[in-house]
Structure 1
Amino acid sequence: MLETENQNTLSDYKLGLDYALEQDQKDELKEHRNQFHIPKDKMGNEWIYMTGNSLGLQPKQTKLYINQELEDWANLGVEGHLEAKNPWLAYHEFLTESMAKVVGAKPIEVIVMNTLTANLHFMMVSFYKPTKARYKILIESDAFPSDKYAVESQLRHHGYDDKEGLILWKPRENEELLNYEDLETILEEQGDEIALIMIGGVNYYTGQFFDLKRITKLGHKYGCTVGFDCAHGAGNVALNLHDSGADFAVWCTYKYLNSGPGSLAGCFVHEKHAYRKDLNRFTGWWSHNKKTRFNMRGEFDQLPGAEGWQLSNPPILSMAAIKASLDMFNSVGMEKLLVKSKKLTGYFEFLLKQLGENTIRIITPSKPEERGCQLSIQVKSADKTLHNKLTEIGIISDWREPDVIRCAPVPLYNSFEDVYKLVEKLKSILNG
């Protein structure tokens, strides 16, 4: 049924530049493109930028937000903690509600802190609790490398063999996408040995968006803790983290959330764990009760919710860049972004399919509910030379070994014209 619905949607698209320009005129989000810096080549021509899944473009207001904090620092010094336009002492709180909306969580469940893999380790300190009988960790076989390295190091840290203790959810032979029935089989056979399931919410390579609620329910059925790395999901898909029931999730903010290279990351801890003081954790000054934090000599008094996993006072300049982007997300709303995203990505899929199955293969799921805006493309008999040629003519895409070009038409700043021109230029290279 869903396949038919998606095919009918694809059939609604039309060929030709005029159609793309018409869709851009109808796009109620089109003005937001003008709120971003679009990189240009040496001749002053805008790149067709399709790598928001690696690094989002800079909002023009980001400089204003950061300059405000620089100005307050210059004029106020340490007094900026209380007297700045946006007082630094509580700056992370300015991000919480907007970030919670982006990931589908309650404010008490969300905190912006640290960086992605650091947050993953902090979460595993609390939620990976191995025992002699139950110590294994399950991840997808082609997880992002840092996730694999992180869970392997946790196994070693607890004295386990990092190969024997790691269970991989693998695609079937000659397939790229993961099958839920195979996950069910793994848990039926080994569920009582698995302490933690840690899956990428959207797989970085294939673009497959997993059913977080289904995985969580299945994991909890067998007594496993369940967490997700949503680096490729936050700001891209409807994560609905609270409703998923997941114990925790982590994500970066520099991809779809446009906060700048290496910026701070986000962390979700489900409300059911908000007041638990029995969970092991690393603690620091900023996870202590705000009312007594500056008394200095009192015993540790843990904050409730995700805030209780903070360690240090946060870097304000990075948070200012995040605030600049989140304010934009808050004004647009994830619902409108998702509507455009599905339409734009569907149009991209439609145009790519015109090239023919003998030329190109899309390994990303065709069902809109099983993907975000990224399409992962295999071009037959092509290697990285093709990607390099695209780059030379101003198409900024992303190559992943062994043979995939990842393209992500981001709804905030990419247009239907971008998608049309990308496919036309790809076609000209293939026909050349």
Structure 2
Amino acid sequence: TYKYLNAGAGCLGSIFVHSSHATDYELYPRLSGWWGVPFDTRFAMAPDAALTPGASGFGCSNVNPLMVACLQQSLLVLQEAGGVAATRRKSLLLTGYLELLLHTCGLTAPPAAAAARRCSVAIVTPTAPRWRGCQLSLRVQPAEAGAAPPSMRELERLLRERGISTDAREPDIVRISPAPLFNSFDDVRRFIAALTACLTELA
């Protein structure tokens, strides 16, 4: 729910349990509670009550209804976007477009001697789309060998001033995620223009 349904700290989570483990109670210690007991015997409160077969048997307690309401809204947004397959397809296109522009706009190439920009970026995220989500991690590297990279916090601040929200990691990584439920291809172009301007300003 965190990465794909916009959940935050303390929100509901879920876990997949293969059906081959659903009734194996001896293989590993498992969390279990009264919510995993069949409804018709749940309130008997028997100390050795049998659990419901399948995923329902892993329920520990009743869930927070406010958190369920939030999750429902996220699921509606996902449904309106066409579902998981359509969202993943857009994600692949957005991130591929971001990667393409980083290369074609020259941001991944060392700056020319006469260029105002003194830094380039290297994509450190796997290039194969199946091995990544929508995020690209960019290593900011100065043109001069041995020179220190600019402050990532300062880069993050400059991008924020241009309406771009990123995530910086010192000493040299900035992470950008064109989220398919919210971002457009124009947003990706705006980011490239903003990043170019910021790297020039930091020179």
Length-normalised TM-score, structure 1: 0.40
Aligned mates of 1:260, 1:361 — CA distance in 2: 30
Mean Cα deviation higher: 360-369 or 324-333:
324-333
Instruction: Indicate yes or no: 2:108 matched with 1:356.
Output: yes
Q: Which residue of 2 aligns with 1:115?
A: none
Of 244, 249, 255, the match for 2:3 = 255
Please give the secondary structure, in 1, of the residue aligned with 2:16.
Answer: strand
* AA matched with 2:188: V
Closer, same or farther: CA 261–373 of 1 in aligned 2, 3 Å: same
Please give the secondary structure, in 2, of the residue aligned with 1:352.
helix
Aligned-pair CA distance for 1:389: 1.6
d(CA) in 1 for partners of 2:191, 2:55: 42
State the secondary structure of the residue aligned to 2:39.
coil
Higher-Rg structure is 2
Q: Which residue of 360, 366, 371 maps to 2:132?
A: 371
Deviation, structure 1 residue 356:
3.1
Q: 1:339 is matched with which residue?
A: 89
1:292 aligned counterpart, secondary structure: helix
Contact 1:269–1:306 (Cα < 8 Å) also in 2 = yes
Kept after mapping to 2: 8 A contact 1:284/1:312: yes
Question: Per residue, is there more helix in 1 or in 2?
Answer: 1
Structure 2 residue ranges without an equivalent (≥5): 111-119, 142-148
Partner in structure 1 of residue 163 of structure 2: 394
1:401–1:270 CA distance, 2 compared to 1 (3 A): farther
- Structure 1: where are the runs of 5+ without partners? 1-252
Residue 64 (structure 2) pairs with residue 312 (structure 1): no
Which protein, 1 or 2, shows the higher relative CO under an 8 Å CA cutoff with sep ≥ 6?
Answer: 1
Superposed CA deviations along residues 85-119 of structure 1, whole A, max 9, x for unmatched, are xxxxxxxxxxxxxxxxxxxxxxxxxxxxxxxxxxx
Closer, same or farther: CA 401–338 of 1 in aligned 2, 3 Å: same
Deviations 1:136-185 (A, max 9, x none): xxxxxxxxxxxxxxxxxxxxxxxxxxxxxxxxxxxxxxxxxxxxxxxxxx
Q: Tell me by how many angstroms 1:363 deviates.
A: 0.3
* 2: CA distance, partners of 1:255 / 1:356: 27
Could you tell me which residue of structure 1 aligns to residue 21 of structure 2? 273
Contact 2:34 2:45 in 1 (8 A): no
Instruction: Report what 1:296 is aligned to.
Output: 45
For normalisation by structure 2, the TM-score amounts to 0.81
Alignment correspondent of 2:113: none
Overall identity of the aligned pairs, in %: 42
User: Size of the alignment, in residue pairs?
Assistant: 180
Match of 2:151 in 1: 383
Change (3 A) 1:328 1:429: closer
Cα distance in structure 1, aligned partners of 2:109 and 2:59 = 50
